[in-house]
A and B are shown apart, each in its own frame.
Chain A
Amino acid sequence: MTKYTLDINGKKVQVEAEPDTPMLWVIRDYAGLKGTKFGCGVGLCGACTVHLNGQPVRSCSTPVSDIKKNDKITTIEGISDNLDHVIQQAWIEEQVPQCGYCQSGQIMSAVALLKAIPQPTDDDIDTYMSGNICRCGTYNRMRKAIHRAAAMQKGK
């Protein structure tokens, strides 16, 4: 067991874990943030997507020992306090989620997309979002919601 001090959503979290423990389980079961989900365990579905220093990563395939001292981790719980991120608002407007299980990961990918490309094209959306599976098939609504969020952001 090794002690780690992690910066998750701007808070310091101390955990004691085996170095090969994936961040997914550290976030969920050590830091108690359940919004990040387990889907495939091997980085194929994107349900576990979080941001590492602003970049989307698959937490199920990122061992806690890979996290460096000043790294900042952001999870779904950390993107806004009151559902006021434009992606969340657009997701509600378009009524995107169905079962909702993949949506934390989808939203983390979409947030990263808008940060990188504030006015994304459909091709940009394909590139950024194709790593995230939604078994309910909410893809068309996500695409619409991303365009809506981009427009909202522009209007701000």
Chain B
Amino acid sequence: MKNTVSRRKFLQYSGLTGAALILGVSGNNASGATTVANLSNLDEGYNLSPYVIIEKSGKITIFNTKPEMGQGTFQSIPALIAEELELAPGQFTVLQTGGEKKFGNEQAAGGSYSVRSSYETLRKVGASAREMLVSAASKQWNVSEKECYAEFGRIFHKPSGRSLGYGELVETAATLEAPENPRLKDPKDFRMLGKPSKRPDIPLKVSGKAVFGIDAEVPGMVYASIERCPVFGAALTDFNPAGALKVTGVEQVIPVERVFGNYKTTGVAVVAANYWAALKGRKALKINWDYRGNEKFNSADYTQYLRDLAANEGITDASTGDFDAVYAAAANKVEAFYETPFVAHATMEPMNCTAHWKEDNQLEIWASTQVPSDIMNEIPAMFGISADDVTLHTCFNGGGFGRRLAIDFVVEAVSLSQKIRKPVKVIWTREDDMQLGPFRPPTFSSFRAALSPDGKLTAFQHKVIAPTILSFLMPQQDKTKVDEPMVEGISRQAYEIPNMKNTFVFADCPAPLLWWRSVTSSTLAFSHECFLDELAHKAGKNPLDFRMEMLTKDSDTKRVLQKLRAVSNWDAPLPEGKGRGIAQWDFFAGLAGQVIEVTRLSDNSVRIDKVYVVIDLGTVVNPDTVKSQMESAVVMGISAAVKKGITFANGRAEQSNFHDSPVPRITESPEVVVHILAEGGSTIKGVGEPGLPPVAPALANAIFNATGIRLRKMPFDLDDLRG
């Protein structure tokens, strides 16, 4: 039988991205294909990546490799396979993968990358399976494949009306050669893709049944709370566990390391029979820390430090024409300086992880994580075990926003369990989450520009001054080169600027930093698009017209702005006391533009009325998910724009919980109108992040329009704009 060979070939072919399919056959049975696979007897020996399991009973399982954190991958990723496999939403079960090698090395959700990185490959997986099932049916009936078609989990013979379920065909199908180039469906025939689809995780999430990392339950499990020094970069000198050990339920007090890229600190874990005892024990600890001078770190000095760095020329990110000469000779120059804060992710589910280091050195992990593949690569390396000895349960993420791209909390739990040889659940408190970072870094921006007498932008410079995320993640960062994530987007906008020179100045920072939804674009779009607004006003032009004048060539940005003009009624005058602002941003995650309308409540305050969003996607998988992601990004963008970020004093974060680092509540959520540009084309853009960057600049520009107040510093207080 060539069963094994053909399956290997199929897997090789689809191995372009590590994607592959096993059609319900256990490889133990290479000759007969008689054993129908289920999760417990899938053959690992093939080094395969089984995305779909069809069992003889007809049960179909599709694996989702992209962790679900609210962005909808639990629906959108399996739908790519199910569409081509002609399955309706209720006809298959979705299971989340746990970083297993057979599912490839891209089991991660980040960068708004999940759907666009899977769109072609997973559809091919589904299409191949469909063709094999069609072929199996035609053989069974001894009819031409051309007379057969797949629909809702069955193969039909058109002339006779006969049909067989996939489960009835899977044994035969698995003996067939996998098609090299399966025919993909014409998008006009899509039943699911491109149409609003209900998400299978939602019933679980409205009944309390969805399992998040924090819900893991292991027999014999203990709980841990860890006191880590609130001063960044401090070292543990010594500690006295006596007080903690007196608390009923406390079992052990042991030091544990937090590892986050280059950033390593040691905390003291209190292990107890229940979480409350662990918390009480933690409060009773006596610890001496060596602050190593970092206790002097504070926001006032740090802000001044960043301002002073602006005097440096910086490393050039990109340039066009001759900025220096044109700017020097210009008559009409404009300068401005913008500042933004550190912010915390504040996912609703605090960081947590349950780990069980067993007697036989097998390790089992339960975590809400964006990066199962990273865990399976890094944990075995750090702890000197084989990935084959690690089982990871990727749970629903109670928010990610980039925070769960780090695995510091996983390292803590694993190392604790290794020491105590018991299953242990480590739960961070909200205070830990707010205070210990990692934070989104601030960016400061120094602008210089020149306008011609007819109000055209002739020279432009955006200099970014910022501490960098990669400094924390990479041992030997080359600081003679631009740190690209810190200047993302500023040189790649579609605007045609004849003389441009954008530069970057490195700053140091003792606080740990990390990616945060839309990362630096969440601050750079604010400064960049607000400064363009300043230039438009200086030039005496409508801010949208001013931008359009710099977009003579066709571009996605141009289409987004044109669409925004139409849907927001940009050219219709607003009633007295109202204002509107516009902004767009094109960056690694995608492209969106917004118009925000505000009402002036007093000389010094406004209310946000309405947000128009246009997102450019090329192709859309679930428009309702896109809509909800835009609504979400708007609220989070408002949060970053108007809510107090994280500030520092005495080496530590000054905020600790939602009372002093608030986030928007239901009373602060404006009407959001979403338009999706999905007119085909070769590129698919991301969804999760692009809705965020335009919020702050569109809002600040609207505020200027309504009040004449130009905001150059985030966050700003809507109730006290001059504050």
Contacts and interface: CB of A to CB of B under 8 A. Distances in A.
Interface of A: 1, 17-18, 20-22, 25, 28-30, 32-42, 44-45, 47, 75-77, 80, 83, 88, 91-92, 95-104, 107, 125-126, 129-130, 132-143
A139 to B, nearest CB: 4
B217 A32 contact: yes
Contacts of A135: 346-348, 399, 401, 636, 663
Interface stretch (B206-214, B383-391, B573-581): B206-214
Interface string B652-679: 0000011100011111110110000000
A38 B350 contact: yes
Contact of B206 (A38, A39, A88): A88
B201 interface: yes
Given A1-B248, A25-B275, A39-B430, A103 B205 contact: yes
Nearest to B249: A18
A49 to B, nearest CB: 12
Given A95-B199, A99-B69, A25 B274 contact: yes
A18 to B, nearest CB: 6
B207 A76 contact: yes
A139 B666 contact: yes
Contacts of A33: 208
A125 B669 CA distance: 13
A80 B206 CA distance: 11
A38 B275 CA distance: 11
Contact of B70 (A1, A38, A92, A100): A100
B277 interface: yes
A45 B666 contact: no
A114 to B, nearest CB: 15
A17 B628 CA distance: 42
A139 B635 contact: yes
Interface string B244-257: 00001100000000
A149 to B, nearest CB: 11
Contacts of A25: 274-276
Interface of B: 68-72, 198-199, 201-212, 214-215, 217, 223, 248-249, 274-277, 346-350, 396-401, 427, 429-431, 624, 628-629, 631-636, 657-659, 663-669, 671-672
Given A41-B430, A137-B635, A139-B666, A91 B672 contact: no
B201 A92 contact: no
A137 B207 contact: no
Given A95-B624, A96-B202, A138-B631, 19 more contacts: A17-B274, A28-B215, A37-B214, A37-B348, A44-B659, A95-B202, A97-B70, A97-B202, A98-B72, A98-B632, A99-B400, A101-B348, A101-B398, A102-B398, A129-B665, A133-B665, A135-B347, A135-B348, A137-B635
Given A1-B248, A40-B430, A139-B669, A98 B203 contact: no
Contacts of A80: 207
A100 B212 CA distance: 9
A40 B657 contact: yes
A137 B695 CA distance: 14
Contact of B277 (A18, A35, A40, A76): A18
A99 B350 contact: no
Given A92-B202, A133-B663, A140-B671, A35 B208 contact: yes
A132 to B, nearest CB: 8
B328 to A, nearest CB: 46
Closest 8 CB pairs of A and B: A35-B208, A137-B635, A101-B398, A100-B205, A98-B70, A99-B70, A76-B208, A139-B669
Given A88-B206, A97-B206, A98-B71, A136 B399 contact: yes
29 contacts: A1-B248, A17-B276, A28-B215, A29-B275, A37-B214, A37-B398, A40-B657, A45-B658, A83-B203, A91-B206, A92-B198, A99-B69, A99-B70, A99-B347, A99-B348, A99-B396, A99-B398, A100-B70, A100-B205, A101-B347, A104-B208, A107-B206, A130-B666, A136-B348, A136-B399, A137-B632, A138-B632, A140-B669, A143-B669
The interface centre, meaning the residue of A20, A41, A80 with most chain B CB atoms within 10 A of its CB, is A41
A18 B666 CA distance: 36
A100 B397 CA distance: 9
Contacts of B72: 98
Contact of A21 (B202, B274, B347, B401): B274
A19 B481 CA distance: 59
A95 to B, nearest CB: 6
Nearest to B622: A95
B348 A141 contact: no
Contacts of B400: 99
A91 B207 CA distance: 10
B217 A134 contact: no
Nearest to B672: A140
Nearest to A123: B667
Given A25-B275, A91-B202, A92-B202, A126 B398 contact: no
B631 A133 contact: no
Contact of B667 (A32, A100, A102, A126): A126
A133 B669 CA distance: 12
B274 A29 contact: yes
Contacts of B657: 40-42, 44
A104 B658 CA distance: 19
A23 to B, nearest CB: 11
Contacts of A77: 207-208
A44 B72 CA distance: 27
Contacts of A134: 348, 635, 666
A141 B208 contact: no
A105 to B, nearest CB: 9
